[in-house]
Structure 1
Amino acid sequence: MENKDTKVLSFWVSPYGLRVVWALKLKGVEYEYIEEDIFNKSNLLLQMNPVHKKVPVLIHHHKPICESLAIMEYIDETWTQYPLMPQEPHQRALTRFWSSFADEKVAHAAVNAMMFSGDEKKNNAENAKEAMEKIEELIKGKKFFGGENIGYLDLVLGWISYFLPVMEEAGNFHIIDPLKFPAISSWKKNFLDHPIIKDTPPPRDKTLHYLQSLIIDFASKSSGQ
């Protein structure tokens, strides 16, 4: 699907970029996807996101929008079909709260658990588990965080369904125990079975190799080699 008025700059393994792609696909919006090499950033990316210089970036009518959470809200407000955010103001505020919580508490701790070793790995894994316990309570009794349909928070947490298991394998740690997190485990299956979602995650083997190379590189730099 290509639309010269709507472009997405992203990187094949970026879970933040995939959120944006999912949002556009759910709404049936055509777009042009532009793959970025984050290790050799294009002039277009540097021009469109001069502050953070990172993906994803949505370009709509030549105007850039940066940061995945802001991009998804922009998409939801611009294309009103298939609403992603709740309509009621309090529920919208809660969705924003839990989205920030998930990125700050779960994603950050999971990345650290993958990259570090020893006590830092253990402590970050425990922090991620504690945060996931709150997410577990949030999804109990529901098919999706958005109810019967995938919503904004589902897209924010979507990386947990396919990316976190690969992170766990690459970094030799474990967060999601199906016995401890049955509601999240059920949600993961529902999410990945959705026709819009199921064929979009990057190849597992390629992702695993990429993450393992990041860990090796990080360990080498940390040791001063």
Structure 2
Amino acid sequence: MASSEKAVKMLGTWPSPFCLRVELALKLKGISYEHIEEDLSNKSPLLLQLNPVHKTVPVLIHNGKAIAESLIILEYIHETWPKLAPLLPENAYKKALVRFWADFFEKKVTETFRAAVLKSGKEQDMAVLSFTENLKVFEHGIQKDFEGENPFFNGESPGFLGILVGSLSTWIKVMEEFRGERLVETEKTPLFCSWLCAFNEVGLVRETSLEHGRLLSYVKALREKIFGLPNMRKI
């Protein structure tokens, strides 16, 4: 093990797609790390010390130095171990495109999906509609800017964008089960569906992905705590 790979730790919590991103990046690069599970209802002194601004996970610790926020951590991992399964293209223009669409995915797709999880009734319906419309924009933009480079936008293995897309995979399936309808439909976003399928076929991804049954139970408990009823169509 090279000296730059020593003392890699990650503070995370298992249901978080943001933490999953970091774990996927480390595993794709073959970087050994120690996972430290955090209870966000009872945050540890270590977490509060290392991420005093946002006070949340993920936090990557490398040689005693802490880095917070999943997108920033992914960039750090890429730059620290650039030759091991690169997450970003070498070409400056292509790299800028990846960063643009990663920012869009985070602010538009992920945020509207999060709203769908935490809302009910008409507010949830509006969030789901926004999520679907943002997916269409994302799909169209990726098709235009990365033509011929799908499904990973990074050659033969998932890169920065592929990790973001795939990190929501199990969450999307669980939400579809709660809603009783498809959130990601082949008829509406065929390319996005194909990207999810391709991502889920990668061995390391299957090994690292969130366990469906466990996440389903977690979301049930979360929604019962917020609304009193787990079934979204009954709220």
1:114–1:171 contact (8 Å) kept in structure 2: no
Judge which range, 196-205 or 72-81, deviates more: 196-205
Counterpart check, 1:197 vs 2:199: no
2:26 aligned partner? 24
Secondary structure (helix, strand or coil) at the match of 2:207 reads coil
Letter in 1 for 2:20: L
1:2-81 correspondence to structure 2 within 5 Å: 5-80=7-82, 81=84
Cα distance 1:182–1:207, how it changes in 2: closer, same or farther (>3 A)?
A: same
1:144-155 correspondence to structure 2 within 5 Å: 144-155=152-163
Counterpart check, 1:159 vs 2:161: no
2:215 aligned partner? 207
2:123 aligned partner? 120
Q: Give the CA deviation at 1:88.
A: 1.4
Q: Give the CA deviation at 1:4.
A: 5.7
After superposition, the C-alpha distances for 1:5-46 in whole angstroms (9 at most, x for unaligned) are 110110011110011011111111111111111111111111
Q: Give the CA deviation at 1:215.
A: 1.5
User: After TM superposition, where is structure 1 displaced by more than 4 Å over at least 4 residues in a row?
Assistant: none
Partner Cα separation in structure 2 for residue 108 and residue 143 of structure 1: 23
Cα distance 1:101–1:110, how it changes in 2: closer, same or farther (>3 A)?
A: same
2:112 aligned partner? 109
Judge which range, 28-37 or 177-186, deviates more: 177-186
Q: Give the CA deviation at 1:171.
A: 4.8
1:129 aligned partner? 132
Partner Cα separation in structure 2 for residue 194 and residue 92 of structure 1: 23
1:48–1:64 contact (8 Å) kept in structure 2: yes
- 5+ residue gaps, structure 1: 221-225
2:152–2:159 contact (8 Å) kept in structure 1: yes
Judge which range, 91-100 or 14-23, deviates more: 91-100
Partner Cα separation in structure 2 for residue 160 and residue 56 of structure 1: 16
Counterpart check, 1:87 vs 2:95: no
1:98 aligned partner? 101
- 5+ residue gaps, structure 2: 229-235
Cα distance 1:171–1:55, how it changes in 2: closer, same or farther (>3 A)?
A: farther
TM-score, normalised relative to structure 1:
0.90
The count of corresponding residues between Structure 1 and Structure 2 is 219
Partner Cα separation in structure 1 for residue 51 and residue 6 of structure 2: 19
After superposition, the C-alpha distances for 1:71-128 in whole angstroms (9 at most, x for unaligned) are 0100000012211011111211111111111111111111212222222111111111
Partner Cα separation in structure 1 for residue 156 and residue 187 of structure 2: 23
Identity of aligned residues (%): 41
- What value does the CA root-mean-square deviation take over the aligned residues? 1.8
